Amino acid sequence: MSIAATPHRAAQSDEWSRLQSHCQGVTPLDARWANWMVHVLTLHPDSLHRLIEEYGSPVNVIDPTPLQRNLEQLCDVAREREVDFRPFFARKANKCLTFVDAANQIDAGVDVASEPECQHTLDRGVHGENIICTAAIKTSSLIELCVRNQVTIAVDNDDELDVIHAVTSDLAIPAHIAIRLSGFSHNESKLHSRFGFDIDLVNEVADKLSVLAVNGRAELRGIHFHLDGYSADQRKSAIRQCLPLIDRLRDQGHAIRFLDIGGGLPISYLADGKQWSSFWKSLQRSLLGHQPPITYRNHGLGLRHDGSRINGTPNTYPYFQQPVRAEWFAQILNADSGDNRSIASALNERSLQLRCEPGRSSLDDCGMTVARVEFTKKHPNGDWFVGLGMNRTQCRTGSDDFLVDPIVLANPRASSTETAATSTRVSRSGYLVGAYCTESELIQLRKLQFPQGIQRGDLVVFPNTAGYFMHFLESRSHQFQLAKNVVFDEDASEVFQLDPIDATSR
């Protein structure tokens, strides 16, 4: 498939405003759209219709170029402070191998969470030294794969140490190890995690590692943590507690090279913070019955109303937040390390490499999900249901909803005479529903408006879904095929090519 040349920018921006006006939440949440997405949607909507015909609905469209930009931004922040730094792309956030290649091209590392992820990453030519394995469950075969290829193992528990002992005895190769720590104290309480060794017990782990090290079975190379949530302050606390510990471990003879602060770098999906706060105020009014519902059957997205009060906390990602990514990272490096120097200087003075493992934030602007409308239907209460050829596992994470307005692309084949004659574009507001046979199968819980109507054959496009939304929960329930993933590359002879994860049968 090839696509036409770029017309004038102004024409493109008019077309874009027109497109955005075709679908908005009853309380709008306008997305940040990457330039390449605007480009495809305004200039090549036909190519998206053709992709759906070829591969079925939905199709994930990805572009790896923003990943390189996102990681380079972090490198710039570190370079300005002369910090030795390497980001590791957490590939569990998206299964496409294109992103692994893109990270490898700029010499970033890769964080893998399972044996297939580790094997694929090695198969793509990423050197084992540039891979860290943080899998929650590590079978002996995964540990063997890591040891054979010098992949760093982020050790979580004593049983893993025992397996490492057994595997390295057989192979006579030392394992590269990072200790995963948790239980840091922050604001006078302990940060809970089910992962890692409690920081107060680190001496026992270090003693065990000393035994392994003496026998040439293991090299303790780094300290690792990954915290839940996106708090920069919690990460500052954790780093302050890791630094003296690293000094002690080095004194005991462990050649610690790096501190790895995990992922959780925040991003924003929305263009406007005011819309985000208005949305939550509006939802509360609906829950209290002061206005009609703006979510399906007045879903609270984590909020509950008890009498005249609203309780609970939003069970969603903070779709608008500040600061994000690079600025957030800079705040951490600039923060006091606990002895009147910045964290950046404290790392430098120790000749300690800083690492992090961004997943979601690496994939900011890297993908969109396109689905076809298969029916529209009016419910007796007046709401319309818009049935999409997809299911809710194809645009969802663990949280309640994807709180971003999609774009609707009209079906070019629907002739204007047909539309006028049958008045099919009458569905003006309602809910996107999916293919799983449950009452709760909504693609988005928010009520959307379609001022120009929406009908069978139109496409609905969800922005910025590459980080987790495409693959983290995707399921083959009802025996539906998984969505195909295509890579957009305007300079290639085939502008849309299948990602290698789909191109070969695995």
Ligand X SMILES: *Cc1c(COP(=O)(O)O)cnc(C)c1O
Residues that bind ligand X (CB under 6 A): 90, 92-93, 111, 134, 226, 262-265, 357-361
Q: How far is the CB of 266 from ligand X (least distance, A)?
A: 9
- CA-based diameter of the chain, in Å? 83
Tell me the C-alpha to C-alpha distance, in Å, between residue 211 and each of 20, 153, 161, 302. Answer: 62, 17, 11, 49
Q: How far is the CB of 93 from ligand X (least distance, A)?
A: 5
Indicate the residue among 260 and 405 with the shorter CB distance to ligand X: 260
Q: How far is the CB of 366 from ligand X (least distance, A)?
A: 12
DSSP string, 368-419: EEEEEEEEEEE-TTS-EEEEESS-GGGS--SSS---S--EEE--TTS-HHHH
Indicate the residue among 314 and 359 with the shorter CB distance to ligand X: 359
What does the alpha-carbon distance between residue 227 and residue 239 come to, in Å, rounded to a whole number? Answer: 11
What does the alpha-carbon distance between residue 138 and residue 40 come to, in Å, rounded to a whole number? Answer: 41
Indicate the residue among 184 and 384 with the shorter CB distance to ligand X: 184
Indicate the residue among 25 and 314 with the shorter CB distance to ligand X: 314
Q: How far is the CB of 226 from ligand X (least distance, A)?
A: 4
Indicate the residue among 111 and 502 with the shorter CB distance to ligand X: 111
Enclosing H/E stretch for 13: helix 9-20
**Nearest to residue 155, comparing CAs of 191, 182, 118, 124?**
182
Indicate the residue among 263 and 463 with the shorter CB distance to ligand X: 263
What does the alpha-carbon distance between residue 364 and residue 362 come to, in Å, rounded to a whole number? Answer: 6
Q: How far is the CB of 275 from ligand X (least distance, A)?
A: 23
132: three-class secondary structure by DSSP: strand
Q: How far is the CB of 464 from ligand X (least distance, A)?
A: 14
**Nearest to residue 495, comparing CAs of 71, 95, 47, 27?**
47
Q: How far is the CB of 90 from ligand X (least distance, A)?
A: 3
Indicate the residue among 92 and 254 with the shorter CB distance to ligand X: 92
**Nearest to residue 24, comparing CAs of 464, 454, 456, 455?**
454
